[in-house]
Amino acid sequence: MQNNPNGPYDDVFSNLAKIVEDIVKSMPESQHARIIGYTIITRQPSSEDPQVFHFNAPDDDDEIPYEVMESDDQIFITATLPADFRNAPYADIGTDHVRIFVDDRSVTVMLDSMVDRIHSHYRIHRGIMDITLKKVKNPVQYTPSGNPE
């Protein structure tokens, strides 16, 4: 998958992750250390620090653990994928939810904000699924009859 054209620093962060991985491998007792994945969020509102809104700790091995972070205009979901999947994992991005599928396992992440499906995307790298969702600024609300308010 290509880097996000709106993220000009993707290559820099990828190289930074490789440097950190090399440093960890050079440390004593490093035979058990490994870097599985990374997420670096650069576009954060200057008024506040990044906040984690939800972390789903799996109750059993069949659940997919994920974490949700949110900024003013984007939502970020990071899921740790199992190492033993048979088919390519994927994310089905809806306007108010995201479903993550790994073989016969799935998890649904309900969103507090409406998102623009066209300008949202996901990528999988080293067992981590990173999902970036663009929030809709002024979502149109519909009445039960189907007419906009």
Q: Parse the chain into domains and list their residue ranges.
A: 1-35, 46-135
- Could you identify the residue written with the tokens 């499906």? 117
Rg, the chain, Cα only: 18
Residues ≥6 apart with Cβ < 8 Å to 120: 93, 131, 132, 133, 134
Amino acid identity at 36: I
Q: Give the best-scoring range by mean pLDDT among 27-31, 57-61, 79-83.
A: 79-83
Q: Residue 17: helix, strand or coil by DSSP?
A: helix
Q: What is the mean pLDDT of the chain?
A: 75
| Architecture of the CATH domain 46-135 | Sandwich (2.60)
What's the pLDDT at 58?
Answer: 47
Single pTM value for the model: 0.57
